[in-house]
Amino acid sequence: MTPAEQLDATFGALADGTRRAILARLAQGEASVTELAEPFGMTRAAVSKHLMVLERAGLVSTARDAQRRPRSLHAAPLNDATTWLNQYRAFWEGSYARLDALLEDQKGAPRPRRKRARKVAR
């Protein structure tokens, strides 16, 4: 899948309320088809159909435990979906929050510092 197709698959899978609820359930820990079907009052077949869409979108994976075959959330496509620009924003917003703290720290009490103590004064 190209990145664009991957995004289409991700968002297609997210467009359905039941599938979002399944993902929200899996975000709290892995679950089998039976465990997923129960709280939603759905048949196992209906849940399996939704799981197929979610697996094709790369959002859910199936463990090899032969008996239970628990499904778990795979969040990487969601991260991709937030785009480079959002990562760029997160990088700088996070960095600048730390820079705020550094500048505040440097402004701090007029007690002598190890070095460059006078440089802070304006």
Interface ranges with another protein (CB under 8 A) = 3-4, 7, 11, 14, 17-18, 20-21, 23-25, 27-28, 39-42, 78, 80-86, 88-104, 106-107, 119-120, 122
**Would you say 66 or 121 has its CB closer to another protein?**
121
Distances (CA, A) of 27 to 21, 105, 110, 112: 10, 39, 49, 50
Q: Which residues are CB-neighbours of 53 under 8 A, at least 6 positions away?
A: 12, 13, 16, 19
Nearest-angstrom CA–CA distance, 74 and 26: 9
Q: Of 52 and 88, which has the nearer Cβ to another protein?
A: 88
Shortest approach of another protein to residue 69 CB, angstroms?
22
CB of 67 to another protein, least distance (A): 26
Q: How many CB atoms lie within 10 A of CB 26?
A: 22
Least Å distance, CB 46 to another protein, is 10
Nearest of 35, 2, 42, 1 to residue 18 by alpha carbon: 42
Q: Which is nearer to another protein, 64 or 79 (CB)?
A: 79
Q: Which is nearer to another protein, 66 or 85 (CB)?
A: 85
